[in-house]
Amino acid sequence: MPPTAAPTTSFDANERTAWAGRADVYAATFGRLCAHSTPELLDAAEVFAGTRLLDVGTGPGTVAAAACARGAEVTAVDAEPSMVELARRAAPSARVDLAALPDLPCGDAEFDSVVANFVLNHVGRPLLALAELRRVLRPGGRLALTIWSGAPAPGQALIPQAMQAAGAVRPPHLRPLDPADDFPRTPDGLATLLTDAGLRHVTCRTLSWDHHATADDWWAGPASGVATIGLTFLAQTPEIRSEARRHYDRLAAPFRTPDGTLALPHTALLATGSK
């Protein structure tokens, strides 16, 4: 098994920390959210029986398992060892390896299709990552990926709003993406990035859905330190953390359904391209 590539930027290093050992809590929280796009992602990548598929940033293996159920020949990779363990259990017929963008242990033109479900949000050099995904595609092969929209839906904004209301401050070491590597999180911005990476026949559209979870389950992700929002939460004083939860409960009220769960609107972008 090839070793995980060293982080190439401080953003990448922070991402490794944000996910280290957190596969189980991610799978029970944000992982359920990210699973919503799986069918449309695989359709966009034209994944069918016999398709040689690479699932990059597989996380707990949700997309890999769905692709195996379609009869695809699946290879999946993730940069976090605890995610690799979950993915191997979720998709036992897939080959699952430890690897990180932008250095994949794959040959040129090895795959018919490549998917990356909410992965491009988590790399320090998105254009370089896309160039690597293009490299491993065969000529005419399909790439499909999702990212979160830069115009967040109300459900996406709930926890950040609660943190802001409590006076939480992002720790200085959790620096955002370098502006030189960033891009507009819009359909046109993402489509342009794919085109700049050399992909052809690029399209991008918006996905919208309501994610249902209990208030405690939805809070469990950041409270357990998952992702940047979680590391930011854990960096606060106990008083600010308590205030954030109080504001969260208040702001969550409009999302409550008759059965007591939250219906949280989310918006993402789905982009496709060919080599």
Would you give the distance in Å from CA 257 to the centre of its chain? 27
The burial class, CB within 10 Å (0-12 / 13-18 / 19+), for 43 is: middle
pLDDT (tens digit, 9 = 90+) per residue, 34-52?
999 999 999 999 999 999 9
Q: Are 75 and 53 in contact (CB under 8 A)?
A: yes
**Given a cut of 70, is residue 4 above it in pLDDT?**
no
Average pLDDT, the chain: 95
**Segments in 21-113 forming alpha helices (H):** 23-28, 30-34, 38-44, 62-69, 81-90
User: Looking at residue 17, what is its pLDDT?
Assistant: 85
Confidence of residue 7 (pLDDT cuts 50, 70, 90): low
Give dist(CA 194, CA 191) in Å, integer. 5
- Could you tell me what percent of the chain has a pLDDT over 70? 97
Give dist(CA 127, CA 177) in Å, integer. 12
Q: How is 218-268 classified by DSSP, letter by letter? A: HHHHHHTT-HHHHHHHHTS-HHHHHHHHHHHHHHHGGGB-TTS-EEEEEEE
**Given a cut of 80, is residue 1 above it in pLDDT?**
no
**Given a cut of 90, is residue 275 above it in pLDDT?**
yes
Query: Which residue, 96, 24, 40, 27, is CA-closest to 64?
Result: 96
The torsion region of residue 268 among left (phi > 0), alpha (psi -120 to 50) and beta comes to beta
